[in-house]
A and B are shown apart, each in its own frame.
Chain A
Amino acid sequence: MTMSDRTISVLEGNNFVVSDLRGDIDASPTEPLGLFAWDTRFLSRWLLTVDGQRPNVLSTDDLDYFYVQFFLVPGTGTIYVDADLSIIRKRAVGNGFHEDLTILNHKDQPVDLKVRIEAAADFADLFEVKDALKKKGEFYHRIENDRLVLGYRREKFTRETLIAASSRADIDEHGLSFQVHIEPHGEWTTCLEVVTGLGGFGEYHQETTYGHGDQRARSNVKMNLKKAGEAIPRLSSDWPSLQVTYGRSIIDLVALRFYPMTLPGHALPAAGLPWFMTLFGRDSMIASYQALPFSSNLAIATLRALAQRQGTRIDDFRDEEPGKILHEARFGEMTAFEERPHSPYYGAADVTPFFLILLDEVERWTGNAELVRQLELEARAALRWIDEYGDRNGDGYVEYSRRNKETGLENQCWKDSWNSILFADGTLSRMPRATCEIQGYVYDAKVRSARLAREFWHDPALADRLEKEAAELKRRFNQDFWLKDREFFALAIDGDGRKVDSLTSNIGHLLWSGIVDEDKAEAVVRHLMGPRLYSGWGVRTMAEGEGGYNPIGYHVGTVWPHDNSFIAMGLRRYGYREEAARVAMNMLEAATYFKGRLPEAFAGYPRELTEFPVEYPTACSPQAWASGAPLLLLRAILGLEADGDHLIVDPAIPSMLGRLELLDIPGRWGHIDAFGRGRVDTT
């Protein structure tokens, strides 16, 4: 769960509840509270009153990501006085939620109370939560079998919220009322069940997954990362903050698991809480890649779920093309009625090569040859997409330009805000855009796919062709994208054939992918670690001094943990061990300011100016690829690489960490320990 100053979130799968610290939900366009499932708000109002007053909060305790307790006292309407009643709400989320409501009477006298839960559901699509759009369908309610059913219908699309209590309640269309009598020093308790119903869509849930007092789901037992059979490696170091960050990362990745209906029993990383609890091509694969040395199940489920939904046709609205891997899947009303293209939406040009990279990497770590064979046709279709659709103009590079001109994404790379691909003078480049890191991914994807073709698909001709194409791509890329006078790679080549000449973090991904000529690596590293790109906490998305630079601009100056984790791996790949250790250490230091939970991004201010990292004001925390970043940074400083049936350990550890141990790293080798002593001075 996550707690901000005013709200608290608990979740399981794509069910989540955002409430205030009393446990109440009172949604407004500026306060997007509610019970959400499958991208729909099933409760927009959930208010507890005792004798007509809303309680005051004493404390709010998170016990697990899906479970929270609220300790309350009756509201007086004025100021706090000694309370003689305690009110406890315990809430567990899963297929809706289960709430245990208990009132304790501390007096010597019996009390009679009117307890009421006000409930309402606006069934807003996540896309419209902040816009308060007028709904196109009709609302209804019914009272049946001692439960209140709130419903919404648009043609045959129905969503229902079913609310029931375990003790006798007077039910009306706006909620449930209880006449409560409590003996001296006695207590009263009831369970409230809130169930989300999706007409004709998947399972129509009739009960929550929790019972009275449960902190453990009673059914639908989810795959647990911590479960036997996939133990997480144990970490220890002489720098205690590292254990905190490591533990936080693991717990957050567990919490962010999303269970696709088409893969029963499997979970993959959703992108972030609360607004991105869904399958994303890019975020789900990147977080899986980061987590691979620690848990391979996430990556396998991600690959399989994405393969199932691989594009097979040309569809302008969804930016779908044969062989393309999806960008984002959504399930709400606006998606259903094609007011948004997310069914699923395919507007991403980097994820298809990344799919191939991840498939190869999973095999290297796990030895799961079966998966490589099962996904052969999908992998071949992905390779065809790169050449036939990704390379739109036949120039040998993958470039993007959206088919969906109204609701599609303009930028189909990870820096997907509209103004991210800028020239050094701050002007916007033109479509279609071939960003540099995508070419790096394509290079790596072809090199890796050649290995898969030769070893698993028994197609040496394809392997030869891919290797030839990769070599040719590398040769041309190092000529065409290189800015001779500035000694770094252009961010992109735009639709007019111009080199987009801003200095950006994207060049670090080029090291990661291996497309950089050896003789150019030194200059690239110099820029990455120089004061214009390096803030002291990490590499900025765009260098200070560029026309578009803004230290609090989403993709034009902020520092992104996931970006830096890839850069650290890139530095290692080219032998820059000390620089990799420095990037890792500085980011791990930044994590200590966030109690081990790195935000999606933080401001690009110089470290010496602010002395602490300033969080970018984003609505999403935790974010999967930020949670995964410390894991990939650990891999970078331990120098972990899978090589045949061996795990190579080649540590270059920051001296601040002292002795670092990572025990029981799972893989095709069984379990191996990695350890080393910090010898790299990163201060």
Chain B
Amino acid sequence: MIDTAQAFFEQLAERGYEPLLHSISGTIQWKIQDAGNWFVVVKNGKLTTSRNMVQADCVCECSKEDFDRMVMGKQNPTTLYFQGKMKITGDLELAQVFQRLFPDESLSGGEQGKKESR
């Protein structure tokens, strides 16, 4: 069985550039309970990921189950945050823009959450 979070960040790293993140620059730390930390360093959409601790501009923290549900399109990131189940500290603009990457279509499939045109 594939690890959703790992697959999500690995695919992101492979893309190397994500136009949906073109407007932001900074380091986002994903602190996923029972799955550890991922760091995404973005510079105007160009990005690298790593698992080594670095100083983050924005920290997003949630459970592994909730993270997977966001990736799969079963949980909206904004309402997860509003419900208090995802903690965000630091630069909220980074988190606001990063949430565009959910769900990950290649991992979720299905019409809901589909990003490309019909």
Which chain A residues have a beta carbon within 8 Å of chain B's beta carbons? 155-158, 199-202, 261-263, 307-309, 312-316, 318, 322, 331, 335-338, 343-344, 374-375, 377-378, 384, 388-389
Contact = CB atoms under 8 A, between A and B. Distances in A.
A308 B96 contact: yes
Contacts of B93: 262-263, 308
Nearest to B80: A336
Residue in B23, B83, B92, B100 whose Cβ sees the most chain A Cβ within 10 Å: B83
A384 B117 contact: yes
Contacts of A375: 23
Contacts of A308: 23, 93, 96-97
Contacts, number: 78
A384 B103 CA distance: 20
Given A202-B92, A262-B92, A313-B114, A157 B84 contact: yes
B84 A316 contact: no
Residue in B84, B103, B114 whose Cβ sees the most chain A Cβ within 10 Å: B84
A314 B112 contact: yes
A331 B81 CA distance: 10
A158 B83 CA distance: 8
Contacts of A374: 23
B76 A158 contact: no
Contacts of A314: 111-115
B54 interface: no
Interface string B74-118: 001011011111110000110111001001000000011111111
B15 interface: no
A196 to B, nearest CB: 15
Contacts of A331: 82
> 5 closest Cβ contacts across the A-B interface?
A336-B82, A156-B84, A200-B84, A312-B100, A262-B96
A312 B20 contact: yes
Chain A interface SS verdict (over half):
loop
Contacts of A158: 84
B78 A388 contact: no
B28 to A, nearest CB: 14
A202 B93 CA distance: 12
A200 B19 contact: no
B51 interface: no
A377 B84 CA distance: 31
Contacts of A338: 76, 79
Interface of B: 19-20, 22-23, 73, 76, 78-79, 81-87, 92-93, 95-97, 100, 103, 111-118
Contacts of B73: 313
Contacts of B115: 312-314, 322
Contacts of B92: 202, 261-262
Chain B interface SS verdict (over half):
loop
B61 to A, nearest CB: 9
Given A200-B81, A335-B79, A377-B19, 14 more contacts: A156-B84, A157-B82, A157-B83, A157-B84, A201-B84, A262-B96, A312-B115, A313-B114, A315-B76, A322-B115, A322-B116, A335-B82, A388-B118, A389-B117
Given A337-B79, A338-B79, A155 B84 contact: yes
A336 B79 CA distance: 5
Contacts of B78: 343-344
Contact of A336 (B83, B103, B111): B83
A538 B73 CA distance: 48
A315 B75 CA distance: 11
B112 A316 contact: yes
A155 B23 contact: no
B79 A155 contact: no
B114 A388 contact: no
Contact of B85 (A156, A318, A378): A156
10 contacts: A156-B84, A157-B82, A262-B93, A308-B23, A313-B112, A336-B82, A343-B78, A344-B78, A377-B22, A377-B23
Contact of B82 (A201, A309, A318, A377): A201
A496 to B, nearest CB: 24
Contacts of B86: 200
Contacts of A262: 92-93, 95-96
A446 B92 CA distance: 32
A155 B112 contact: no
A388 to B, nearest CB: 5
Given A156-B85, A157-B83, A313 B113 contact: yes
B112 A315 contact: yes
Contacts of A322: 115-117
B34 to A, nearest CB: 17
A200 to B, nearest CB: 4
Nearest to A38: B82
Contacts of B19: 377
A315 to B, nearest CB: 7
Nearest to A330: B82
Nearest to A159: B84
A201 B113 contact: no
Contacts of A156: 83-85
B82 A343 contact: yes
Contact of A343 (B79, B111, B114): B79
Contacts of A316: 112
A483 to B, nearest CB: 33
A309 B76 CA distance: 13
Nearest to B20: A312
A315 B113 CA distance: 6
Contacts of B81: 200-201
A199 B87 CA distance: 9
A181 B50 CA distance: 65
Contacts of A261: 92
A337 B20 contact: no
Contacts of A157: 82-84
Given A156-B83, A377-B19, A384-B117, A309 B112 contact: no
